[in-house]
Chain A
């Protein structure tokens, strides 16, 4: 079955960067899209951007340009999201979801604190 397994919780200092992963199985990763989302607990969902695994082409929410960078490794069927220059406002749960958003990762908590 389709699975999206995200990396674990992160505790990072302000100004640092973090790289989240989303390892997939059960479908053809190399011809699919992956979207990433941000959710602050108790709040709604924000779409960060998406990447096409076939050629690495990306589309971003303007709000997250310069903050998030999406990449893929087709050899391991894994998608990545780099978050840079972290501030407390980046503290949230981040989700990945494949094409169609019919399968989601379990979420990864990022806490930015000194």
Chain B
């Protein structure tokens, strides 16, 4: 199985500042079709996960453009600019390259 490793475990951010979350995969997530199969999700407290970024750098529908994704074949970054209180929750990276799809352990974002 592909192992997804996230860092840090938690991050505390002042509203209006930026935050970055890292994710590393144990295998290249670049598919034979040239798609990087890396996804970012936010799970707000007590809620279902919400898709933020698909295929490494594409913003999901309805997601503010304060969120952006970047990376290479195995190293990825989610950046949140101008953090707002509504951004609180746990952020997960995950892949869909092959079965089984796997997720990172999550990064908890808190507001200072």
Residues of A bordering B, CB below 8 Å: 35, 44-47, 59-63, 95, 97, 100-102, 104-107
Complex Cα distance A102/B102, Å? 16
A61 and B92 contacting across the interface, CB-CB below 8 Å: no
Contact of A44 among B50, B60, B92 (CB under 8 A): B92
Closest-by-CB residue of B relative to A96 is B48
Q: Is the CB of B49 within 8 A of A95?
A: yes
14 CB < 8 A contacts A-B: A44-B92, A44-B105, A45-B41, A45-B49, A47-B94, A47-B102, A62-B100, A63-B100, A95-B49, A101-B39, A101-B49, A101-B51, A106-B48, A107-B48
Which of chain A's residues have a CB closer than 8 A to the CB of B100? 47, 61-63
Q: A59-B99, A100-B54, A102-B61 are in contact. Are A44 and B104 (CB under 8 A)?
A: yes
Please report the C-alpha to C-alpha distance between residue A49 and residue B90 in the assembled complex, in whole angstroms: 23
Residues of chain A with a CB closer than 8 A to B69's CB: none
- Give chain B residues whose Cβ lies under 8 Å from the Cβ of A104: 48-50
Selected from A46, A61, A63, A105, the residue in CB contact (under 8 A) with B48 is: A105
Contacts A45-B92, A62-B100, A63-B100 given; indicate if A100 touches B51 (C-beta within 8 A): yes
Q: Are A44 and B106 in contact (CB under 8 A)?
A: yes
Nearest CB in chain B to that of A107: its residue: B48
In whole angstroms, what is the CA distance A61 to B2 when docked? 12
Q: Give every chain B residue within 8 A of A46 (Cβ-Cβ).
A: 103
List residues of chain A with CB within 8 A of the CB of B102: 47
